[in-house]
Amino acid sequence: MSNITGSKPAAFLSRRDGDFLRSVASTVVVMTHCVNIWVRDFYDRHAFLSMGALATFLDQLSRFTVPAFFLLSGYGLAMQQISTPLPLGQFYRRRVPRILLPFLLWSALTSYRFWGFFAELPWKSAPLRALGHSLDLIFLKGFDYQYYFLIVIFQFYLIFPFLYKWARHRSFLVVVLLIQIALMSPIEAWLGLFGLALPPLYSYLLFFFLFYCVAGVHAAWNPTWVSGIVGRMTLPQIWFLWFATLGMVSAEFWVNIALLKKPLMFADHFNRWVVLAYCCASLLLLLKYRDYLKARVHFNARWQWYFKWVTPFSFFVYLVHTHVLRFVELFLHGLHPVVFVLRVALVLIGSYALAWVSQRLFAPFPGLRHALGLPREAPPTAAK
C-alpha cells in the first residue's frame, strides 16, 4: 500500500485523505474476516433473523475495501513518479522492493503452514517441477488469504512503468475498464448463452483488478478527474446512489447463493459488476465529504490520536490480523452474539497492540520495520 506523497494544492487526494481511507478499509477488512463464520452460517441456513445476516451485510459493505487499496496504491505510486521521476532501472531497484520485501517476509513467516507441501515436492527427481510448484504457491496462490493483495500489487509494480504515461489519458482508462468488465461476473452467464466460457484463470491476477490501479494513476495525472460529477450531484443524490449500489451488491449475493446455488467463494467475490458500481459510488461519497473531513477530522486536535496510533499501522494490521484471529479462535467458539463482538474487538486490539509493540521493539531497524509493513518514521504532526 503505497504512501501518498505531497503534490500540487489541487491534488486528487491529500495524504490525510489516503491515510484515513486506508485505515478505515483495513479495519473493515479485519472485522469482515472475524465474522466470516457467521457469513458461512448464513450461506448454509439463509436465516435473516440471525447474526449471520448482519455479518453478511457487513461482508457485502466491505466490498469497497480492497479496490480502495488498489486505487490508493496506483495513486501513491504515480504521485511519487510525478514528483521524483525515476528511469526504468532505478524504478525497479527503489520502488519494487517496497512491496516485494513485505510480501516475502510475511510469506516466510507464514510458510510453516505449508512445510508438508514443500516436503512432498520432488526436489531430487524433478527439481524444476518442484521449483515451479513452489513459485506457483508463493506468487499466484499465496501463503495466506489476505496476501493476494500483495500478489496483485507486485504484478502492478512490474508493469507500472509501461502504464504510467498511458494512464493519464481518459481513453486508456476506458479501455482498461472495458477489459475488466469483460472478465467480471456475471459475464460467465452471458457467455454461457452462446456456448462460450472464460478459460480457467487464477483469481489473483492483475487484470481482474487493473482498473482500480489505473484509476489511481489517472487521478494523479488528472486531479479534477471526477470533480465535475461530485460538484453537480447533491449530497442526498450521492447517498441514494451509495445505498442503491450497496443494495444491488447485497441482492446479487442473495441471488447467487439462494437461486443460482453458487459456492460461497464464487458468490462473494470482488470481481462483480455491481461491486465496481458500488466502489465508484463509495469514491464519490468520499470526495463529497473531503472538505468536511479536512476541517473536522484530518486537522482537528481531537482526532490526532487516530493519525498517530491508527493510520500509520493499517498495513501491518492488514498483514498480521489473520494470525491474531487464529489465536483468538482457539478460545472463542460458536455463533453467540457475544462471541461476535469479542472476536472483532480482540482481533482489532490485539493486531494494533502488536503493531505498537513491534514499532517500539524494532525502532533501531527501519529496514526491518518497512519489511514488516510498519512505518519507517514517526507519523507527521498535524499541519494545515
Cis before 186? omega within 30: yes
Backbone φ and ψ for 162, nearest 5 degrees, come out as -90, -15
- CA 277 – CA 267 distance, rounded (Å): 17
pLDDT greater than 90 at residue 67: yes
Classify residue 97: in a domain, yes or no. Answer: yes
pLDDT greater than 80 at residue 22: yes
Least confident of 5-9, 55-59, 243-247, 341-345: 5-9
The gap between the terminal CA atoms of the chain, to the nearest Å, is 24
Residue at grid coordinates 462483480: 272
pLDDT greater than 50 at residue 8: no
Classify residue 4: in a domain, yes or no. Answer: no
The model's confidence at residue 345, banded by pLDDT at 50, 70 and 90, is: very high
Q: How far is CA 309 from CA 23, 115, 205, in A?
A: 11, 36, 33
pTM listed for this prediction: 0.91
Classify residue 56: in a domain, yes or no. Answer: yes
Residues 253-276 have a mean pLDDT of 90
What would the DSSP string read from start to end of 221-283? Answer: H-TTTTHHHHHHS-HHHHHHHHHHHHHHHHHHHHIIIIIS---HHHHS-S-BHHHHHHHHHHH
Least confident of 62-76, 221-235, 264-278: 264-278
Helix (H) or strand (E) holding 61: helix 51-61
Classify residue 381: in a domain, yes or no. Answer: no
Classify residue 206: in a domain, yes or no. Answer: yes
Classify residue 372: in a domain, yes or no. Answer: no
- Dihedral sign, CA of 209, 217, 242, 344? positive
328 near 350, Cβ under 8 Å?
A: yes
353 near 285, Cβ under 8 Å?
A: no
Tally of domains within the chain: 1
Q: Domain span at residue 19? A: 15-291
Residues 271-294 have a mean pLDDT of 95
Classify residue 299: in a domain, yes or no. Answer: no
- CA 307 – CA 375 distance, rounded (Å): 12
- CA 145 – CA 226 distance, rounded (Å): 33
Residues 185-201 have a mean pLDDT of 87
The model's confidence at residue 378, banded by pLDDT at 50, 70 and 90, is: low
pLDDT greater than 60 at residue 278: yes
Residues 44-64 have a mean pLDDT of 94
Classify residue 302: in a domain, yes or no. Answer: no
The model's confidence at residue 10, banded by pLDDT at 50, 70 and 90, is: low
pLDDT greater than 80 at residue 379: no
- CA 138 – CA 104 distance, rounded (Å): 9
